[in-house]
Amino acid sequence: MNASAASLSPERELAVFIDLIARYFQTVGGSAPVFLVPTLETALPPQLDCTGYMPVTGRLTGWIALSMPGALLCSLLDHIGENQHDEAAQLDLVAEMAGTITSNAREHFGERLYVNPTLAAAAGDFPPELVPPTLSFRLPFRWSGQDAYLLVALHP
């Protein structure tokens, strides 16, 4: 079930993540993605082929995840000159991306975000170390014809 994210997610935090995702794709993939309408989720949304989870502790706790289809990850792997395209490589890349985008966010959120090593899971698997959120913020985007999303499940 979705609702408008505008009332519960400050515009500034949305802008930070849009900027960081755009910067990642611009640097690594050569072009920025198109961002779609963000939503609030009251249950864990269906995960795509590979999801990278960044557990966060500190003044904010929870996790931030990046969920992506395999085809998009293969396209990014091509861009960085990587010829290994199997599921292990896709999971490694999505975990690295989640870690990079969340760690980059510390520039804006400071000590509210204490980042930890990332976890990765294929579709249908959810890391047992993490708690499914009752409320999360989903930022969908499209790159190279493929849809992916960032999920922010943090609380004070």
Partner 1 sequence: MKLLIVDDSLIMRRAIERSAGRSRFSEIHTATNGLLAVEMFARHRPDVVTMDITMPDMDGLSAIDLILKQNPAANILVVSALADKGTAIEAVKRGALGFLLKPVTAESVHNAIENILSD
* Footprint of partner 1 (CB under 8 A): 23-24, 27-28, 77, 80-82, 84, 88-89, 92-93, 95-96, 99-107, 110, 115-117
In angstroms, give the least distance from the CB of 89 to partner 1: 6
Task: Closer to partner 1 by CB, 62 or 99: give it.
Answer: 99
Q: Which is nearer to partner 1, 117 or 156 (CB)?
A: 117
The tokens of 139 are what? 């930022």
Between the alpha carbon of residue 120 and those of residues 42, 126, 127, 133, the distances in Å are 22, 9, 8, 17
Q: Where are the alpha helices (DSSP H) in the chain?
A: 11-29, 70-79, 87-104, 106-109
- Minimum distance, C-beta of residue 23 to partner 1, in the bound complex (Å): 7
State which residue, 106 or 142, has the beta carbon closest to partner 1.
106
How many CB atoms are located within 10 Å of the residue 66 CB? Answer: 29
